Structure 1
C-alpha cells in the first residue's frame, strides 16, 4: 500500500530532487568560488543502483516526481541509461532534468526515448560573449542547439532558468521575456540566493517586484493556473505570447507553505530544505546493510524535521549550490 509522506506542517511531500554529481563543466561566476575547492570523492557518490533503490522507497512513500540535477548531471557517465531505469519504475509520474545544456545537443532524441518527461536548461545570457564570461566557457551555441532540439523533440514544456543580476545580465530581462512571443518556451526568472561563496563581484540581484514592473512594460501579464507537477513558480503569459514567464522568488515571496520536496545530495544526504544545511544521512544506512524499512524511516524523519519556512535572509547556506543540487 502506498503511504503519503507528510511533514509536521501537513505538507505532502511527493517530489524528490536528486543530485547525481557535484561536478560541472562550467564555472558560473555566481555559483563557483574563485579559490580551489574539493569535490566529493567518487567513492562517496551514490551509485545508480543505490539511487534506484532509494527512489523505489520514495515511491512507496508517495514520491511521484523526480528531477535530476548536479552539478551538471550530464557530466556523469551513463546518465541516459539511469534515466531509462527511472522511467520504468511503476508509480513515478514525472521525470525531469535540470542541465546547463552544453553536453546534450546530440542526445535530445535519446533522452526522450529513454523516458525523460521534461527538461529545464539554465541560461543566464543570450549574448555569446557574455555567456562565455559568466560561465567560463564559449558554449552558447551548444546550449542554443539543445533548446531547439528539445522543442523539436516535444519535451514540453522546455523551461529556461535565468538568474538575473544587476551589472551582469540584468539588462537582458526583456530579451528573455520576448522569446516567449515567438517560441513556446517557459522562461523562469529566479531570484539570486546567497548560497555558498560564488566568485561574482557583488551579486546585486534583481528581485521579483522589479522584474514584474519591467515585464508589465512589455504587455499584460495574464496569470496561468498551476498544473499538478508545478514547482514554486508563479506563472504568467504575456498577452499574445506562445510561451510563459515564471517568477521564482525565494527571497521576496517565500513559497515554503506549499513546498512539497526533499533533496538528495550526490553523497547520499537528504536535505529537507534547499536553504538550510540540515541533512539526514542515508548513505551510511544504505551501505550498512539497512533494510528498506530503516531507509523509509529516514525519509520520514527528513520530512518530519522540515522547517515551516527558510531563514536564508538571516542565515546564509554554507554548502555550494553545486554540491546541494539546487
Structure 2
C-alpha cells in the first residue's frame, strides 16, 4: 500500500481510548477530558474489523496506544484476535506502565510482542509532578515484569523538557548500560492545549550528545524509524534521539493513525482526519476509503509554519 510519494505504508497505530490514569502536563489538561458517549467511540469489534481491513491491504506492523490502552476493558481479547491475523509481523503497545505489572503476563500470552513505556524522570517527586499524581514505583515494577515475561525489546520513551529532566540525561542514558533497554529521547511537541507550555519548555535533543560525549552512532536498521540510535561503550541497549521539531523524518514515514473515535490521521502534525467509523457504520467500502485516503497522505508536516494541531495527544494516540 503506497501513497502518492511512493512511500510504503505498513504501520498502523491504533488508539484504544482517549482516557488515561495519569494527567501528564504535555498531554492533557489538568481537569482531565470530557467523556465521549459510548456511541462516539469505536467498539472493540469495530476496531478489529477496521484493523483486519488494514492488514488485508498490507499493514503488517500494529501498535496499540491511548490515552492509556490498558484502561480499555477487553484489550487482552482484542490483542489475541489481532495477533492471529495473517500478515501481522509485529504487535506492540505504548503504555505509561502503571498497570503493566498486572497485565504483562496476559498480554504476552495473547500475542503482544513488545512494549514502549513512557517515562520522563527517575525521580519519584518529579514523576508525581509531571504526571499530576502518578507513582514511579508502579512503572518500575511494570518494566521488571515486562522483562520477566519477555515483552522485549523494551523501549522507554522520554520527552525532553527544559528545566525539568535535562539534568537527568546522564542517569537516563545509564539505563542502557547493563540492560537490553532502548531509551529514546523525544523532543517536546507543541500539541493541543499544552502547545504554549511546550514551546516554553522546548529544548533541542542536541543537548544529549553534548552531555554524553561517549555515545557513538550505531547503524540504522530501519530507515522508517524516526530515531537515530547511539550506544554507550559496551552498552547492552541503545539510545535513540527523535527530533520531530528540529529535524523532519517525513521522507521515510510509513505510518498512519486511527483514533479511538474512528478518525484516520495520515500525519500526526495535521488537523486533517477521515471518518472511518461513519463509513463503517453506514456500510461503505472501507478498504476503498482507506486506499483513497492513503493516496492523499501529506508529503511532510509544517510545524515551522506555527499552525499546531488542535487535539490533545491523548485524543490522537501516542
Check whether the contact 2:67–2:314 (CA below 8 A) recurs between aligned residues: yes
Scaled by the length of structure 2, the TM-score of the pair is 0.95
Query: 1 CA distance for matches of 2:205 and 2:114?
Result: 25
Deviations 1:72-99 (A, max 9, x none): 0011111111111111111111100000
Query: 1 CA distance for matches of 2:68 and 2:77?
Result: 16
Query: 1 CA distance for matches of 2:255 and 2:149?
Result: 28
Matching of residues 129-208 of structure 1 within 5 Å: 129-198=125-194, 200=197, 203-208=200-205
- After superposition, the Cα gap between the structure-2 partners of 1:55 and 1:37, relative to the gap in structure 1 and judged at 3 Å, is closer
| Gaps in structure 1 of 5+ consecutive residues | none
Query: 2 CA distance for matches of 1:210 and 1:29?
Result: 22
Check whether the contact 2:190–2:198 (CA below 8 A) recurs between aligned residues: no
SS at match of 1:106: helix
Matching of residues 113-124 of structure 1 within 5 Å: 113-124=109-120
Query: Which of 261, 275, 279 is the aligned partner of 1:285?
Result: 279
How far the C-alpha of 1:220 sits from its partner, in A, is 3.6
Q: Which residue of 2 aligns with 1:310?
A: 301
Scaled by the length of structure 1, the TM-score of the pair is 0.93
Q: Which residue of 2 aligns with 1:27?
A: 23
SS at match of 2:212: helix
SS at match of 1:307: coil
Q: Which residue of 2 aligns with 1:44?
A: 40
Check whether the contact 1:30–1:203 (CA below 8 A) recurs between aligned residues: no
| Gaps in structure 2 of 5+ consecutive residues | none
Deviations 1:113-166 (A, max 9, x none): 110011000001101111001101242111001111111222221000000111
Q: CA RMSD in A?
A: 1.6
More helix as a share of residues: 2
- After superposition, the Cα gap between the structure-2 partners of 1:298 and 1:215, relative to the gap in structure 1 and judged at 3 Å, is farther
How far the C-alpha of 1:215 sits from its partner, in A, is 2.5
SS at match of 1:23: coil
